[in-house]
Amino acid sequence: MRNFINRFAKDESGATAIEYGLIAALISVVIIVALTQIGPKVKGMFEGVNNELDKAEPEEG
């Protein structure tokens, strides 16, 4: 039993998994913040392209 407790105390594999989880969470937060900041600019760009394409379409009739 004592051997088991010593091995459990020295085992760091769980800590590694937690560290990877924290890194993934941090990366997710950075991506969300970046997309929130860039989103309106990209939307405006696509709306501008759409407006220009609407002007370029030949009118039927």
Per residue in 2-48, pLDDT tens? 888 878 777 777 778 888 999 999 999 999 999 999 999 999 999 99
pTM of full prediction above 0.75: no
11 in a structural domain: no
The pLDDT, as a whole number, for residue 26 is 97
Residue 14 falls within a domain, yes or no? no
How many domains are there within the chain? 1
Does any domain span residue 9? no
Mean pLDDT computed over 43-58 = 90
Give the residue carrying structure tokens 């085992």.
Answer: 11
Q: Is residue 28 in some structural domain?
A: yes
47 located within any domain: yes
Residue range(s) defining the domain that contains residue 38: 22-61
Annotate 44-61 with DSSP letters as a single string.
HHHHHHHHHHHHHSPPP-
